[in-house]
Structure 1
């Protein structure tokens, strides 16, 4: 167990390392990835693995660093501020659901396995039979896999367990759905696609989804704080009627309101991370994560 001083030092070092890896203002690489078939840099994704970031919140027994949500969120804030398009949160989510050789390959950056968990309409899919595994084959569909065109394989949730399906397997169709920021989602259709069935603990999945939601909230906070910093800089330099527009009272009031919202957002995020790291009861932890994610959204 880390002392509070050790924890603060860990967070500082993580922030410094991430800021060196993804410097603010260096957006040429990010822009270059927009609207491309894959949409991110696989070599940079491997560098993240080399840094040990994919295992940051995983227990040491699973090959991770055994750190908490406070450290994980600190890292994601910096990555969000730099607008990194690499699918970091989905990578860590998948790692949470893996064991053995697939987990080792994921943490080492040798393979990219992305979770495919969402069905377009859960109640409708259930009536239609949903995505299911039978005799080593998977049939069904999943949607909204972030940056899914870059995956080597998918972790597909089924009532029978977690199906590991190669992206280039027969019976797999990937439809790339572009997003406004130049990235994409992948919608997947499986027609008797060959799969390996892995055990899936519903509690582990629920905890992993909570961590992913909190990580996403932290990434978005990094985006918002950097956008606010750029806005303040613009208010100081843009002139109208011979004076900086930041001197206009109406814009000052709007800036103050934004600053307050960011402060409330950070307080909610920090509280949720602390609640998770303190081992709070499941209901309390999920409520805290939901508050942070709702404020982020």
Structure 2
């Protein structure tokens, strides 16, 4: 356990150092295609990040979900658009050399929590799926009723469309009409829970950074010859945000270590609630400047809005946690 904790700390500290100063670059990538920097993605792959979930017996690092979540938190702090977490998830079931070195983008396409699974019959997929920043991928690892299946870009019967998102990215919609696919062994349902935790990690990272940006602003902004952060009413609001973040981090770290669906749903609810509250309140505390595109804090609110609910609504996960808990009892 101590060895794993040390490994997670190493991943976190290493990622924080590598990603420091990346926010201006990520800001400039908004409203561009493919929405990320392929060279930067290969740099991340060179650090071994896609190997985090791959077992050591297969040449990976085998550090587990806590390390992947720790990485996602640091990516969220700088709003990194590179899909390195998606590559790590795919590589845990399909360790293709191009995925591992970042030269080939294959992303997971999960069924929505509570939604119907895509059909998979006779090596062909039918149904729909959506993937954030997935339009430029060379393939997708799709969750179907028959398990995981790999669909390559340009396959017959596959239609890919994109909708722009509020944060300057896009959401790719995949429509499969008897599309040829290759079965991939492994538990993709469990992988969806891991992806949800990594998603929550990204949300937590952006929320914590939004809090830190706001705290620094309140210390710097002056009214009535004093920093506005010295006003007690604003201090109370900051304390409330800090407590929300602490509760969210505790829930996420517990879920990442437990590997239980109940804990995953609890973490998604807690982190999603914190990210929404912190980013919205941060805009209010910045005043008018917070609404301008020039202010970095607005980027965090937009990203939080786009990520909200991508892995199921808070209502669904509350009910899921309750149902699983009652069944276990």
Range of TM-score over shorter length: 0.7 to 0.9
Tell me which moved more, 57-66 or 260-269.
57-66
Count of paired positions: 272
Alignment match, 1:253? 236
- Structure 1 partner of 2:251: 268
Instruction: Report the TM-score, using the length of structure 1 for normalisation.
Output: 0.83
Which stretch shifts more, 178-187 or 88-97?
A: 88-97
1:292 corresponds to which residue? 267
Out of 78, 91, 99, the residue aligned to residue 95 of structure 1 is 91
- For residue 216 of structure 2, what is the aligned residue in structure 1? 233
Question: Displacement, 1:192?
Answer: 3.9
In the aligned structure 2, how far is the partner of 1:175 from the partner of 1:84?
23
Q: Which of 19, 23, 34 is the aligned partner of 2:20?
A: 23
Distance 1:41 1:190, change over 3 A: same
Change (3 A) 1:176 1:250: same
Residue aligned with 2:51, SS? coil
Gap regions ≥5 residues in structure 2: 273-329
Out of 109, 112, 115, the residue aligned to residue 102 of structure 2 is: 109
Q: Using the TM superposition, name which of 15-24 and 75-84 deviates more.
A: 15-24
Q: Deviations over 1:154-181 (max 9, x none)?
A: 1223334433222123432111022111
Question: 1:78, 1:171 → 2: CA distance?
Answer: 38
Which residue is equivalent to 2:120? Answer: 132
Contact 2:54 2:60 in 1 (8 A): yes
SS of residue matched to 1:115: strand
CA distance in 2, matches of 1:155, 1:220: 23
Aligned counterpart for 1:216 among listed residues 190, 196, 199:
199
Per the TM alignment, residue 120 of structure 1 is displaced from its structure 2 partner at its CA by 10
Structure 1: where are the runs of 5+ without partners? 277-284
**CA displacement 1:46-83 (0-9 Å, x = unmatched):** 12211111121221123221113332222222111111
- Residue 242 of structure 1 and its aligned partner are, at CA, apart by 2.1
SS in 1 for 2:50: coil
Deviation at 1:7, TM superposition (A): 3.6
Give the drift of 1:39: 0.7
SS, match of residue 210 in structure 2? helix
Report whether the alignment pairs 1:14 with 2:34.
Answer: no
| Corresponding residue SS for 1:20 | helix
